[in-house]
Structures are given as C-alpha cells and as structure tokens.
Amino acid sequence: MRLDILTKEAQPSPEQMQVYMQRYHDWVGGIAAQDKFVGGTGLSKEGKVLKFNDVMTDGPYAETKESIAGFITIRAKDLEEAVKMAKECPILKGEGNTVEVRQIVTRHNNP
C-alpha cells in the first residue's frame, strides 16, 4: 500500500486519522473473518534509505513522493480474488494512494 502524504497540509488530522484507522481495521477484519488474513506489517514514516556507493538518505520518501504504508498478506485462490479484496481497501479512498497486489513466490524462514 502506497500512501501519498508528502506535504504537511495533506496529512490527516487526528480525528480523520481515527476514522481512517477504523475503516482500515474493518477492512482487515473482514478479510480475517473469511479466514484469509495471513499477516500484516505497518511501516513507520521515518527510516533510512541505503544506496549504491555508501549513500544514505533520511526517510524512505526523500526522493520519491510515495511512501509505502505497509504490507498485508492474505490467502486468496487466485490473483483475481486478491484484486477483488484489495479493491475494498479504504486507503484507495484517498487521491494518489495505490494498492499493489503481488503474489508471494518464496518466503524466507517461513516455508
């Protein structure tokens, strides 16, 4: 899930944030209620980006407008079903936000 929140003005108020979070939890809860939720990872907005030649920059979105808000792993019978579930993601109600659906090919440490 990519979240477009580069400018201060575009950042939601705490009240809005609460509504967003509730919608998000309802969406994830709906997936979990179908026993299709595997796991999820939310990412902090702060971080470091390492690049070729020992270049290190602050923040994952120092040079790109987008930041990755998090990952969620679900169980779906095919890509089509996964896309159908992703379409319901409330993050898509925000302009500029995207949800990318990918199939897991291999898993590290978790066969």
Partner 1 sequence: MQHTTLIPHLFRTEYRKIVSVLCRHFGLQQMEIAEDIASDTFLTAAETWPLKGIPPQPTAWLYQVAKNKTKNYLQRGLLFATKISRDIKSNSTERYEEEIDLSPQNVNDSQLQMMFAVCHPAISKEAQIGLSLRILCGFGIEEIADAFLTSKETINKRLFRAKEKLKEEKIHIELPPAAAMNERLEAVLSIIYLLFNEGYYSVSQNKTLRKDLCLEAMRLCTMLVENESTNKPAVNALLALMCFHASRFDARINEHGEHILYEEQNANLWNADLISKGGYFLNRAASGNELSKYHLEAGIAYWNTQKEDTKEKWENILYFYNRLLQIAYSPIAALNRTYALAKVNGKQAGIAAAEQLELTNNHFYFALLGELCTSVDGAKAKANYEKALGLAKTEADKAAIRAKLEKLHSDPD
Which residues bind to partner 1, rule: CB under 8 A? 22, 25-26, 28-30, 32-35, 37, 40
Which residue, 25 or 48, is less far from partner 1 as judged by CB? 25
What minimum distance in Å lies between the beta carbon of 111 and partner 1? 21
Mark 48-59 as b/e (b = at least 16 C-beta within 10 Å). eeeeeeeeeeee
Which residue, 34 or 57, is less far from partner 1 as judged by CB? 34
What minimum distance in Å lies between the beta carbon of 65 and partner 1? 30
Which residue, 34 or 64, is less far from partner 1 as judged by CB? 34
DSSP single-letter state for residue 83: H
